């Protein structure tokens, strides 16, 4: 009797911007685990549509895809990429909805890892990214040193 258990495990890394998702993914990558990032999937779609990679264009494209195809649309695009990987584990960084995780669960075993950091630490990390966020406004009590 064959097992119906999925052979691949997708480690889904979630967390607020600046929490450390990319750091966790980079550690996995150094251990030979393939890493897929939600933003890379959106950028690939933008490339197909010949859109410039601006924050505005990518944000609008992500919203449009989800409106047209549902909240699991980005993960749906990930499935064939995961299927091509020969290893047992892959990492998906940046799932943005429960529907994305559900989409992956239809095909694979899914383990969700939530990365947490204080608000102060996150905004301190985000400042160099020049997203236009002011830590004095958003960080309760300012910087925590």
State residue 144's pLDDT score: 38
Look over the chain and give the mean of its residue pLDDT values, rounded to a whole number.
87
- Residue predicted with more confidence, 135 or 56: 56
Assign residue 97 a region (left: φ > 0; alpha: ψ between -120 and 50; beta: otherwise). Answer: beta
> Considering the entire predicted model, what is its pTM?
0.81
What is the pLDDT at residue 8?
94
12-21, 60-69, 76-85, 130-139: least confident range: 130-139
Interacting residues of 46 by C-beta distance below 8 A, sequence separation 6+: 52, 53, 57, 58, 61
pLDDT in tens, 80-90: 999 999 999 99
60-83 pLDDT per residue, tens: 999 999 999 999 999 999 999 999
Residues of the chain with CATH 3.40.50.300: 9-114
CA angle 60, 65, 69 (to 5 degrees): 155
CB 53 within 8 A of CB 111: no
Instruction: Provide mean pLDDT across the span 121-134.
Output: 73
pLDDT score of 1: 53
Q: Specify the pairing of strand 35-37 against strand 89-93.
A: parallel
pLDDT digits (tens, 9 = 90+) for 23-51: 999 999 999 999 999 999 999 999 999 99
Structure tokens at 91: 């990492």
Fold of 9-114: Rossmann fold (3.40.50)
């Amino acid at each position: 009797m064959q097992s119906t258990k999925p052979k691949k495990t997708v480690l889904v890394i979630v967390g607020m911007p600046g929490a450390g998702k990319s750091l966790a993914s980079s550690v996995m990558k150094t251990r030979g685990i393939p890493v897929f990032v939600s933003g890379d999937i959106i950028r690939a779609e933008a490339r197909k549509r010949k859109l410039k990679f601006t924050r505005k264009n990518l944000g609008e494209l992500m919203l449009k895809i989800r409106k047209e195809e549902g909240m699991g649309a980005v993960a749906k695009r990930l499935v064939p990429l995961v299927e091509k990987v020969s290893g047992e584990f892959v990492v998906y960084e940046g799932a943005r909805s429960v529907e994305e995780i559900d989409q992956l669960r239809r095909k694979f075993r899914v383990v969700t890892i939530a990365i947490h950091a204080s608000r102060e630490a996150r905004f301190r990390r985000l400042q160099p990214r020049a997203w236009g966020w002011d830590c004095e406004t958003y960080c309760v009590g300012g910087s925590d040193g």
